[in-house]
Copies of this chain bind each other. A is one copy, B any other.
Amino acid sequence: MEQREVAEGCTFYHTTQNTCNSCHTRHEFSAIEARKPQTCAMCHNGVDHNEFENYLLSKHGTVFQTRGDKWDWNAQLSDALEKGGMNAPTCQFCHMEYQGEFSHNMVRKVRWAFEPTPKIADNLHHPWFENRKEAWVGTCSNCHSDSFSRAYLDDMDKGVISGVKITEESRSVLMKLYNDGLLPGQKTNRPAPPAPEKDDAGAFFQLFWQKGNNPSVVEYEFAEMWEHHKIKHYKALAHANPGGYTYSDGWSQLIKSAARINDEDARLREAAEIRAELERLAPQKRGGLLELNTPFRQAMTAGVGGFALLAGVGLLFVRNRRKEQ
């Protein structure tokens, strides 16, 4: 249980998906509150779900920020454009709409899921995906032309596919290093993560747990690449953010991670060759330098980097349970 606290922390988060008072805060239970983008922002901000930041700095969000004080927030979403004076969409308008109707089902049109993967990229022409894209065209067409809407969605898909592709290339560089046993400390100081988690290179758990040389620097980098940068890039494109979130915080971060991973690949392989060369020059030292330095290095790191349990995060779970009281 104790080792699962990160997961529990996330659970706390996601239970809010199933309660009304996450968005309609209790006591007031306000529809106006729930109609404003800042309500979504409480969860949908930050590294792998920065939809709020993308929206605010898009043209949609700019109009909301500069003109939203004149909109009638008492208007229902179905009336908001015509009667509410809403001249740019909110999170709620686009995500609650489906074929002209508004509901609380906010994932009805989701195509790329939370994280774009090669499997999704390879199946975009499947009717399941095509139908959802058509539904999006309908949503955008509330304000834009059909051809503009379609072109934007097509181009967004191309951008997301680029993000998937560069991430997969880096994944194969990392997996090769891992399989060759070349990560720093991999053979001498790599504790396993708490069960039921299994050791893996660049896995999600490495963003929240560490001990000894697990994860290595290049693995944390890759975990950030697929879990943060790839997703940020996708969500910026999906929310029509023309600037930083697409380019600098999205694509350029993918470039940085790819560069760092290739740089590490070159360095770690060169270090392996130097160790091999030293062994050839001094063959009497059986076992090689890597093993040779084990006791030395282990003595250095004994008692150090110890079980970095995410004890604190567990509080959120506890908090969640107590909230009911």
Which of B13, B43, B172, B325 has a CB less than 8 Å from the CB of A148? B325
A47-B248, A158-B311 known; A41 vs B57 contact (CB < 8 Å): yes
Q: Are B273 and A308 in contact (CB under 8 A)?
A: no
CB-nearest residue of chain B relative to A255?
B210
A76 within 8 A of B: no
Q: Are A270 and B271 in contact (CB under 8 A)?
A: yes
For the complex formed by this chain, how many copies does it contain in all? 3
Which of B62, B69, B147 has a CB less than 8 Å from the CB of A42? B62
Q: Are B176 and A300 in contact (CB under 8 A)?
A: yes
A152 within 8 A of B: yes
A207 within 8 A of B: yes
A28-B87, A32-B67, A289-B274 known; A217 vs B255 contact (CB < 8 Å): no
CB-nearest residue of chain B relative to A324?
B148
Which residues on the B side are within 8 Å of A59 (C-beta)? 25, 42
Annotate A224-250 by CB proximity to B: 1 below 8 A, 0 otherwise. Answer: 000010000100010000111111110
Q: How far is the CA of A280 from the CA of B301 in the complex (A)?
A: 25
Q: Are A25 and B63 in contact (CB under 8 A)?
A: yes
A163 within 8 A of B: yes
Taking the closest CB of chain B, its distance from the CB of A139, in whole angstroms, is: 17
Q: Are A313 and B46 in contact (CB under 8 A)?
A: no
Q: How far is the CA of A24 from the CA of B156 in the complex (A)?
A: 25
A145-B325, A278-B278 known; A243 vs B300 contact (CB < 8 Å): no
Q: Are B161 and A247 in contact (CB under 8 A)?
A: no
Q: How far is the CA of A30 from the CA of B209 in the complex (A)?
A: 48
CB-nearest residue of chain B relative to A150?
B322
Which residues on the B side are within 8 Å of A310 (C-beta)? 162, 251
- List 10 A-B residue pairs with CB atoms under 8 Å apart, sorted by A's residue number: A28-B87, A36-B65, A38-B66, A39-B62, A155-B318, A184-B267, A207-B248, A220-B260, A228-B248, A270-B297
